[in-house]
Amino acid sequence: MDNIKLEKALQHAGIDSAEYLGEGAWHYAWKVSRAGIDLVLRIPKASAYGKQVPFDEETLKADYGGTELYYRTVNKAVAGAAPSFFQYHVSPELTYTLESFGGEKIDLHKLTDGEAYRIGREIGYIHRKTEEIPHGLEGFGYLKWSQTQGLQGSLSGSAEAFLIEESEEHLADYQALSAVLPEFEDKTLGEAIRMSVELRKQTFTKTLLVNQDVSPENILMNDNRVVVIDPFPSVYYPRGMAGNFMNLYETFFVALADTDRYKQHDFSAVAHILRMIGNGFLEGYSEGDAHIANQVRGEQLLQLLETANIHHQLLSEDMTEGIRIRYGTKQQIENRLMLLSKELKRLGASEAGNLAKSVQSAYRE
């Protein structure tokens, strides 16, 4: 933590004092007050995941500009569901963000089943309503920023063609995994993956503004209302990021609970609570529409497949400090692959029939 940078940021932002809140993977955070309003000041860390983070104006402005856009869009969709104020300053000498204080972080270890379900349902509703607000950006994919064009998607061309190509890669990944690891070979799972790919091809219409990172660290409660912070926005197939949420809360966080990145949260002890949040999310996002729920489950299956594929690829790569922090040792990664194969087969077996019904319905439409 750099106290000199903190003093410079406080002076630049017109703030006298700060109360340290903690640190995330990329930033330190302080609670501050200006003109009687509680705010949060964040300063980027000099290193993250074992590597130095050099100053990069375009990357920082894409990150912070995307956050500003996402907060504004969320609040248009569901007033008060994101910080109402956000500003940032980016320069080689001083970089920081300042945003409204959103509330207190949720404590997974103290939530009841009902509270967890309600929080998940609110998040699902926020995601779905936010997708309905036009984002006004050119391109799609992860966001980038340039001096001439400002904030935009990093990819151009046909989003539909990109999604088809990505889908073919999912099918190829499963075939490759099954060829080298027999534990992944399963007829029902293979059919469920094929149905998931077919369903996204049939139902995709356009890319929308979505959020890839709604980890428990980024969920706050303010007067019993959910507030989402610190997003990782992109312009993508919306069901894909809803499926990503389900994969995180039903499998990923618990599977990687023993890594340095996540062990402080003790996710293994709250696996049921995480699953209840996921159940609530699916209900809030789908609003009772079974076909939308099936689309999300299909994307969850593809996200889980991607998680397994990444683990398999990591076994043949050099073990960097960043990989070790995120995924653990090679032995942990290898052991986790067996867990992921079981989870894939479980999810495939439970959703294969529903996916087939939705594919048939999409064809009829």
Q: Are residues 54 and 196 in the same domain?
A: no
- The answer on 177 and 236 residing in a single domain is yes
pTM of the predicted structure, to 2 decimals: 0.96
CATH number at residue 187: 3.90.1200
Look up residue 119 and give its two tokens.
């929080």
Digit-coded pLDDT (tens) for 65-120: 999 999 999 999 999 999 999 999 999 999 999 999 999 999 999 999 999 999 99
Task: Count CB atoms within 10 A of the CB of residue 115.
Answer: 17
- For residue 32, what are the domain limits? 3-101
* Same domain membership, residue 216 and residue 77: no
7 & 64 share domain: yes
Among the candidates 60, 85, 101, a domain finishes at 101
- The count of structural domains within the chain is 2
Q: Do 191 and 48 sit in the same domain of this protein? A: no
Q: Is 80 helix (H, G, I), strand (E, B) or coil?
A: coil
Question: Could you say which of 58, 79, 101 is where a domain stops?
Answer: 101
pLDDT tens per residue, range 261-316: 999 999 999 999 999 999 999 999 999 999 999 999 999 999 999 999 999 999 99
Please identify which residue in the block is written with the tokens 């949420």: 245
Asked if residue 249 and residue 113 are part of one domain, the reply reads yes
Q: Do 93 and 138 share a structural domain? A: no
∠ Cα 260 275 143 (to 5°): 65
Express each pLDDT in 156-186 by its tens digit.
999 999 999 999 999 999 999 999 999 999 9
Q: Which pLDDT band holds residue 16 (cuts at 50, 70, 90)? A: confident
Same domain? For 123 and 32 the reply is: no
- Identify the pLDDT of residue 361: 86
- CATH code, domain with 93: 3.30.200.20
Q: Are residues 354 and 226 located together in one domain of the fold?
A: yes
Same domain, 63 and 113: no
- Which of 101, 127, 159 terminates a domain? The answer is 101
236-to-67, 97, 120, 207 alpha-carbon distances in Å: 16, 25, 21, 5
Tokens of 97: 């963000």
Residues 139, 27 within the same domain: no
CB atoms within 10 A of CB 224: 9
Would you say 301 and 193 are in contact if contact means Cβ atoms under 8 Å apart? yes
User: Do 205 and 353 fall within a single domain?
Assistant: yes
